[in-house]
Structure 1
Amino acid sequence: MFFKQFFDQKLSQTSYMVACQKTKEAIIIDPKRVLDEYAEVAQSEGFTITSATETHIHADFASGLRDSGRRFNARLLVSGEGDETWQYRHMPEDTQYLKDGDVFAVGNVELEVIHTPGHTPESISFVLTDRGAGSDEPMGMFTGDFLFVGDIGRPDLLEATVNTEGATREGAVAMFDSLKKLNDYPDFMQIWPGHGAGSACGRSLGAVPLSTLGYERRNNWAFKFEDKETFVKELTRDQPEPPNYFARMKKVNRDGLSEFSIKEVAVHSPDELSNQIFDLRNKEDFRKGFRNGAINVPYDSKFLQFVGWYIDYDMPMTVFANPEDSTRLQKDLASIGFDNLQLIVPIEESDKYYDDTYDNLSPEQLVQGHQNKNILDVRSTSEYKTGSLGNSHHIHFGQLDKHDLPFNREETIYVHCQSGIRSAIALSILKRLGYKNAINIEKGYKGIKEAMQ
């Protein structure tokens, strides 16, 4: 048997390829939308990708399931569990719909389907047994967003993103019951999760790429509860705010996306700019001069975690960026379902549009008389609850344009996050909203606490 784990750091998302080395058949599990890595591995190993499947309808990235069928002519296997609202639509006629207890094979590798609702109603997991090696014991389980290293999947996304009333409690109760199903499996069974640290699909995911069921039984908080109501209360508290694009992903992964392909994106600096505008420079260069209205999301390893809060999926995009990044940028945006990058303005030509700046302030300067200052805390709710300045106002950095701020647009506003990264993004939003005197606090709340000691 061949086994390979693919980890996308920008999404904190994990997918897998399993193959039978005798028959040369391969399956990909939870594929991301850009399929190049899977094709390269299959070619180098001499495999044919004959199947593709996924554990559930994802909310945090654009699925490559349907494109796997188009590109590789792979048979598609998807969950047939869940209610009518969240079942797959517009699938190929030969799609196989999987139910609890179903068994299918890829060559001599056997996969058994376990219905493990909780994160979503249709969630399934796959128990792998390597029959080709003569084993009757399960080697491991692909758990998707059911069981992570150190955590379990959050149950609130349907309610938080697509307003399915009551789904959070229903999911938490289902998760309690799903965990009990693991009692039938041995400690030595490996756990292959769908995400790692940094994902918003759980609260405190571990950075280790895989685990064993025995280790999780001893160390994962979710296995410590015998009382259902206590478990439900613990699971549903302090989950992180889901990025705005999650709602879009749930729907397009259910209904389908067009096939992804690289295109030629225009590169020039026209007299007038239109559409939604993102400035991909670092925060220090941005603050010294920028086009008011542009959102500053630096093009780094956290780009996708941040840009998904602000993308308008119904509007073309213009970016200030390096034209050499066009292909990579298209692939990154495609991974969260956006295919309408229209114009790249080269960074070296961007200064012709600059009409604004903003200032930084040290935490030492902020804490002097901070009780009389307008302070905006743009951290997550869980961060805010762990400690804050008593007179600060809290609005999550990704939700600033959805709330009325308790300041007028002429007042001086001092903005901070935890370390100074998200507040810099927030400054570009506030400037776009007309808050002329917004100031970014360097080093964020960490610096503020140190300055107050």
Structure 2
Amino acid sequence: MFFERFYDTDLAQASYMLGCQKTGECLVIDPVRDIQQYLDKAAAEKLRVTHVTETHIHADYLSGSRELATQTGAKLLLSDEGNADWKYGFDGEKLHHGDTFMVGNLRVEVRHTPGHTPESISFLVTDTPRGDTPVMYFTGDFVFVGDIGRPDLLDEAAGGQDTRFEGAKQMFASLRDQFLTLPDGVQVWPAHGSGSACGKALGAVPSTTVGYERALAWWSDYVQSGDEQGFTDYLLSGQPDAPLYYGRMKMQNKAGPAVLGNVTVLPQLSVAELKGKLGQGTVLIDTRKKEVHQAAAPVGSVNLPVSNTFETWSGWLLRPEDADYVLLAENAEQAEKLRRRLWMVGLDNVVGFITDVEGLDTVAARPFEPAELPEHKGALILDVRKKTEYDEGHIPGAKQLHAGRLPWKLDELPKGQEIVVHCQGGARSAAAASFLRLKGFEVSEIAGGYEAWEKAQKDSRN
């Protein structure tokens, strides 16, 4: 049996490859759209991608299942469970609870495990040459290490109305009737790790076991004692703000992500070509460090620095329907890598790249020190942190609006009034401020964010 875990640290997302060396077949679970990594690994292991599947209609990234199946000719296997509102809108072999299929000598059993989403399924894998006991359980967003999938995303990001309560009830039943009936030694491999917004307390280690979660997970005592109300109350409390681009991802994954196919080389643009595109509404994604951008911010740009959160920030602030995009990158190689990361959040319309800002119109956008905040009388103080961070402490009078919700909430912000943006330490607010500046708002930032402001307040009292 061959096994490989692929992990995207930005979106804290895991996909998996399972193979049978005897027959040369392999299965990929929950692939992302940049499928080259799976093709390369399969070729290196002398395997053929014969089956592709996913655990549910994802909300936090654009799925690569359709892309990978199209390019390899593999069977595309999709859940047909759940209600009529959440059925896949594109062709694939339908899966139901109790179905089994073989990948060489590996037996894969489908289990319907609703709760996070109505159509959610998990895959219980048995390596048949070694016996009839299942060895691995691929749980998607059902069970994580130390946590379980949140049931409120359909409400928070996809237009649902109180679906969280039914989801919590389904999650309770799935844990009781599906997960806890398995042997303790079964390995659990989830679709996300620490940092994902698909749960509130995901563990950092890659996998767990049924027995470990039975003994130590926060939810286990509630489920084993039958306390469904206590379970529901705890599960629904304190969930992080859901970025609203999750709704777009959910609908695109339901309808079927566009197949990228053979992608052409990304062209390098001249200054004149870029200026022409900016004049037509194209947006420049400035991937330099925030301090460099703030010193001379190109007009018509948004600052999304190269980092472990590039995909997340891009999903937060950019929408494919709003504009075409050009990358400001160090070179062609970096531009291509970033372009592929943007595919993760459905931003396919990158039309070129540049490597410097010489010849472009720029403005200074340096933050001010916290002690200068009283000089900004009449400004709206906008806290772009998570609500849980805001509740733990905030600047008096500040309005909380998570950065991941800004593109959908612009009508709640005043034009013609200064907006002072801040986050915890200055990174998120730099991206948010550049986006608001792009949209025509009068924006300034607090250097060092809430941490610096709080320290300045303490220092002033000493």
In the superposition, the TM-score normalised over structure 1's length comes to 0.92
Compute the RMSD of aligned alpha carbons: 2.2
Per-residue displacement from partner, 1:109-136 (whole Å, max 9, x unpaired)? 1111111001110000011111122x22
The 5 Å alignment of 1:27-106 reads 27-91=27-91, 95-106=92-103
User: What amino acid maps onto 1:212 in structure 2?
Assistant: T
CA distance in 2, matches of 1:20, 1:235: 38
Distance in 1, Cα, partners of 2:192 & 2:7: 8
Is the deviation greater in 79-88 or in 116-125? 79-88
Task: Tell whether the 8 Å contact from 2:150 to 2:198 is kept in structure 1 after alignment.
Answer: yes
Deviations 1:357-414 (A, max 9, x none): 2222334x25779999753211111111111123322222233351456766354x44
- The answer to whether the Cα contact below 8 Å between 2:324 and 2:349 also exists between their aligned partners in 1 is yes
Deviations 1:72-127 (A, max 9, x none): 11111111101122111221xxx321111111111111111111001110000011
Taking a change above 3 Å as real, the CA distance of residues 414 and 161 of structure 1, as seen in their structure-2 partners, is closer
The one-letter amino acid paired with 1:320 is: L
Is 2:421 the counterpart of 1:415? Answer: yes
Structure 1 gaps of 5+ residues are none
3-state secondary structure, aligned to 2:76: strand
Question: Equivalent residues in 2 for 1:106-125 (5 A)?
Answer: 106-125=103-122
2:379/2:417 contact within 8 Å kept: no
- Asked whether the 8 Å contact 2:317–2:432 carries over to 1, the reply is no
Q: Which moved more, 1:8-17 or 1:238-247?
A: 238-247
What is residue 199 of structure 1 aligned with on the other side? 196
Q: Secondary structure at the match of 1:361?
A: coil
Decide which of 436, 446, 453 is 1:448's aligned counterpart.
453
* Structure 1 residue identity aligned to 2:230: T
Q: Give the secondary structure class of the aligned counterpart of 1:184.
A: coil
Aligned partner of 2:325 among 313, 317, 324: 317
What pairs with 1:215-226 in structure 2 (closer than 5 Å)? 215-225=212-222, 226=226
Q: How many residues align?
A: 444
Letter in 1 for 2:401: I
1:279-301 deviation digits (Å, cap 9, x = unpaired)? 22210011111133421111222
Q: Structure 2, unaligned stretches of length 5 or more? A: none
Per-residue Cα deviation, 1:224-269 (whole angstroms, up to 9, x for no partner): 3242122222222232222232222212211212322332333222
Q: 2:182 aligns with which of 181, 185, 194?
A: 185
Indicate the residue corresponding to 2:354 in structure 1.
345
Shift of 1:36: 1.1
1:149 aligns with 145
| Distance change (3 Å), C-alpha of 1:220 and 1:448 | farther
The sequence identity of aligned pairs, in percent, is 39
**Comparing 237-246 and 121-130, the one that deviates more:** 237-246
Distance 1:100 1:60, change over 3 A: same
Partner deviation per Cα, 1:397-440 (whole Å, 9 max, x = no partner): 233351456766354x443211110111122133234443x332
Partners of 1:406 and 1:13 in 2: how far apart?
A: 33
Among candidates 434, 445, 456, match of residue 428 of structure 1: 434
Corresponding position of 2:389 = 383
Q: Map residues 260-275 of structure 1 onto 2, 5 A cutoff.
A: 260=260, 261-267=262-268, 268-270=270-272, 271-272=275-276, 273=278, 274-275=281-282
Q: Distance in 1 between matches of 2:39 and 2:352?
A: 29
Which amino acid in structure 2 is aligned with residue 301 of structure 1?
N
Query: What amino acid does structure 2 have at the position aligned with 1:131?
Result: T
1:304 corresponds to: 311
Alignment CA distance shift 1:232-1:99 (3 Å):
same
2:404 paired residue among 360, 377, 398: 398
Letter in 2 for 1:298: P
Matches within 5 A, 1:237-316: 237-260=237-260, 261-267=262-268, 268-270=270-272, 271-272=275-276, 273=278, 274-314=281-321, 315-316=323-324
Q: What CA distance in whole angstroms lies between the structure 2 residues aligned with 1:406 and 1:333? A: 27
Name the SS of the counterpart of 1:146 in structure 2.
Answer: coil
Distance verdict in 2 for CA 1:123–1:209, change over 3 Å: same
CA distance in 2, matches of 1:63, 1:204: 24
Worse-superposed segment, 202-211 or 157-166: 157-166
8 Å CA contact 1:76–1:96 kept in 2: the answer is yes
Whole-Å separation in 2 of the counterparts to 1:367 and 1:276: 31
Letter in 2 for 1:330: R
> Which deviates more, 263-272 or 55-64?
263-272
Q: Which letter maps to 1:177?
A: A
Cα offset, 1:204, TM superposition:
1.7
* Contact 2:314/2:345 (<8 A) preserved: no
Assess, with a 3 A threshold, how the Cα gap between structure 1 residues 371 and 330 changes in structure 2: closer, same or farther: closer
Structure 1 Cα separation of the partners of residues 439 and 245 of structure 2 = 21
Structure 1 runs (4+) greater than 6 angstroms displaced: 367-373
8 Å CA contact 1:317, 1:343 repeated in 2: yes
